[in-house]
Structure 1
Amino acid sequence: MSQTDVRLDGSAELRGEREATPGSAGRRRERLMVPKADFDSYYGRPVLNEPTWQAPDIAGYLFLGGLAGASSTLAAAAELTGRPHLARSAKVGALGALGGSLYCLIHDLGRPERFLNMLRVFKVTSPMSVGTWILSGYAPQAACAAATGVTGLFPGLGRAATVGAGLTGPAVATYTAALICDTAVPAWHEGFREMPFLFAGSAAAAAGGLGMLAAPLSES
């Protein structure tokens, strides 16, 4: 509860954290005794360091990787349900998207050998290390599935590669969500529970759109 002191001239002064002064229109306006806080980091440095990656490369890597993984899963489902045209277009689309995604990743790394260096170890706590091994196991199966689907050779091998790529596809489409969330950016880090579902939904929508464009209407 605030108290006032009465001066000799009859004016009152408010004691406390704020000081009241008479306004021009007879109203009392409060004047802060403590200046407003200025939120700033030490020595004027940014609170978060700017990302070192290039936006077009990483955006292409994320989108095309998700498209590749979801297309392989769609190709496997189409293969097992008797939709050959949809399966073939999804296999080719997966291989093309995978190639574009790897190009964007290697281009952002600067040197191709940096990607190979990540295969020297397997670190469970590193999304990039786990993702590198996922891509290494997925890429040959996706390439084999697309090659056999286009040429018609070795159908048994092609079916096995299609199913294998389809089973690995969800991991390819969603591991990048863990990669994005494993950063200091609060908006990304706090959404680590929802981000995999977002990436999976986006990849499935992209693969479905590609299938509708490339396959006959009866199979899409």
Structure 2
Amino acid sequence: MQRRLFLGGTALALIAGGAYFYNNQSQTTGPSLGSVSAQEASNIDTSGIVEMAMGDENAPITMIEYASFTCPHCANFHKNTFPQLKADYIDTGKVRFIYREVYFDRFGLWAGMLARCGGEMRYFGISDMLYHRQREWLEGGEPETIVNNLRTIGRAAGMSDDQMNACLNDGDTAQAMVALYQKNAAADDINSTPSFVIDGTKYNNMGYDEFRAILDEKLAG
């Protein structure tokens, strides 16, 4: 199963109407992301947004995953399929894995900002925590509750409240992240999560055996 994604001319409106961020003492309103057209998004500087990747840069296969931290099918993939793929193909130098965040909602964006707050070295560790605790931190659905739950994950990853406040209230970075997501998803024709692009070919979500068959065929060729 997959979660459907709709990319329109105002993809940034997915988290429009104001992004609400909270500090550890009281509720505050962070910078609004607003509704930005595709043309406006193309003018946003995204050069500061790091591509999160693991595996050998010179691996014979490049695999890109498009996923949302609020997508239950993505969480299932990361819990049940990705560990074996990582052990058999990424850790062995056969696959270069690139993870690209998709933002269905502001909660997924906040989770991405939190994961990136830990830096490249901690990104995938925090991502694993976000997926394994997805039901916990999304429980309740209220913004203040969710951001406090995200802070709990951040603290477990060794981040201070001041560090998280700075990251979660960085409106420029938030807009750049969403603009880059919009650009990449449009270029790769992504319409659901999780989706995968393996050496330029798009695939829907599948089980480990199906991934293995595709990867082994490419390696043999």
TM-score scaled by length of structure 2: 0.26
- Work out which of the two has the higher radius of gyration on C-alpha atoms and give 1 or 2: 1
Q: Greater share of helix residues, 1 or 2?
A: 1
Greater RCO (Cα-Cα under 8 Å, separation 6 or more): 2
TM-score scaled by length of structure 1: 0.26
